[in-house]
């Protein structure tokens, strides 16, 4: 078990060592990176938005309900939704969802290319496959995922507003007051740090799983599942480490 962890860790590091090289042609890498940005970013916008909207709405509703009949002011609803979203829910839930959607896609795409000998074909042409197939995905994820996290945080806060203000649970001024109370800009920084680190996890781990896949469709399915499971575990672990380090 421990040997296996070190084996995979070593191979993972070696793959990234191979990845760092001068591109054969910068324009080809840029084209692939923009394609990946579109796939990861635009392609995930709806699901991320939908989840953020409902998370914000439910969090606000539940909290406003809990505050009823207590001495805690109702405007705390906006404050709690804002901080909960920015510090934890937006980066973590968004990236866990993206690990499922984007991560499995990356593992299946690269793994499928391995099985269909497309990676061998690229190697024979003289392409550095580790760089060409992984670097654009990684760069795209590192750039796009933090943006998705920010969008998710915004939609989540809006979701909270839509759930409690039009329904009359609290007033608009109370919700907005809550949003503006005790605001710590450092939390936004932390959100972006998490988004950046999680982006690496959810793109690099699936890329590794896909790149070294061997066998047939069952192995490809396993690699895809492992990509999601390991990315999720890595995201949760790193979430804890970041929380320890930055708070």
Partner 1 sequence: MIRAVDIKKSFDDVEVLKGISTVFEKGKTNLIIGRSGAGKTVFLKLLVSLMSPTDGDIWYDDVNITTLNKRELIDLRKDIGMLFQGSALFDSMTVEENIRFPLDMFTKKTKKEKQDRVDEMIEVVNLEGSNNKYPGEISGGMQKRVGIARSIVLNPKYLFCDEPNSGLDPKTSLVIDELIQKITRENKITTIINTHDMNSVMEIGEKINLLHQGRLAWVGNKDEVLESDNELLQNFIFASPFLQRLRKRAMNNK
Binding site for partner 1 (CB under 8 A): 24-25, 27-28, 116-118, 120-121, 123-128
Residues 165, 182, 189, 53, Cα dihedral to 10°: -10
| Number of helical H runs and strand E runs in the chain | 12, 0
Identity of the residue, 36 or 104, whose beta carbon is nearer to partner 1 in the bound complex: 36
Identity of the residue, 192 or 212, whose beta carbon is nearer to partner 1 in the bound complex: 212
Identity of the residue, 62 or 118, whose beta carbon is nearer to partner 1 in the bound complex: 118
Identity of the residue, 118 or 238, whose beta carbon is nearer to partner 1 in the bound complex: 118
Identity of the residue, 68 or 120, whose beta carbon is nearer to partner 1 in the bound complex: 120
Least CB distance to partner 1 at residue 175 (A): 46
Q: Which residues in 18-137 belong to E strands, given as ranges?
A: none
Least CB distance to partner 1 at residue 61 (A): 43
Least CB distance to partner 1 at residue 38 (A): 13
The C-alpha atoms of residue 49 and residue 94 are separated, in whole angstroms, by 9
With CA atoms as reference, report the closest residue to 238 among 185, 200, 184. 200
Tell me the residue length of the chain: 247
Could you tell me if 101 and 168 are in contact, meaning their C-beta atoms sit under 8 angstroms apart?
no
Residues 211, 201, 81, 242, Cα dihedral to 10°: 170
C-alpha 104, offset from chain centre:
12
Identity of the residue, 84 or 119, whose beta carbon is nearer to partner 1 in the bound complex: 119
Least CB distance to partner 1 at residue 129 (A): 11
Residue 171 has which token pair? 């007033």
**How many CB atoms within 10 Å of residue 207?**
28
The C-alpha atoms of residue 244 and residue 14 are separated, in whole angstroms, by 29
Whole-number Cα distances in Å, 30 to 33, 54, 121, 199, 207:
5, 35, 21, 19, 18
Identity of the residue, 27 or 247, whose beta carbon is nearer to partner 1 in the bound complex: 27
Least CB distance to partner 1 at residue 15 (A): 14
Least CB distance to partner 1 at residue 26 (A): 11
Least CB distance to partner 1 at residue 210 (A): 15
């Amino acid at each position: 078990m421990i040997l296996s962890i070190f084996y995979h860790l070593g191979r993972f590091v070696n793959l990234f060592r191979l990845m760092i090289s001068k591109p054969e042609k910068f324009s080809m890498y840029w084209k692939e990176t923009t394609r990946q940005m579109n796939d990861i970013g635009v392609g995930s916008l709806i699901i991320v938005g939908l989840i953020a909207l409902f998370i914000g709405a439910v969090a606000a509703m539940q909290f406003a309900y809990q505050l009823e009949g207590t001495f805690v002011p109702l405007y705390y609803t906006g404050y709690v939704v804002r901080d909960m979203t920015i510090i934890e829910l937006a980066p973590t839930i968004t990236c866990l969802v993206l690990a499922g959607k984007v991560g499995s896609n990356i593992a299946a795409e690269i793994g499928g290319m391995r099985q269909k000998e497309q990676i061998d074909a690229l190697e024979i042409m003289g392409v550095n496959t580790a760089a060409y197939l992984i670097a654009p995905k990684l760069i795209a994820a590192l750039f796009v995922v933090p943006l998705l996290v920010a969008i998710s945080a915004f939609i989540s806060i809006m979701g909270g507003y839509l759930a409690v203000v039009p329904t009359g649970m609290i007033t608009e001024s109370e919700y907005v007051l809550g949003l503006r109370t005790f605001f710590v800009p450092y939390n936004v920084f932390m959100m972006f740090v998490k988004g950046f680190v999680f982006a690496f996890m959810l793109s690099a781990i699936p890329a590794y799983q896909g790149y070294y896949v061997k066998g047939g469709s069952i192995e490809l399915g396993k690699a895809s599942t492992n990509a999601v499971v390991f990315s999720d575990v890595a995201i949760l672990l790193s979430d804890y480490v970041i929380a320890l380090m930055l708070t």
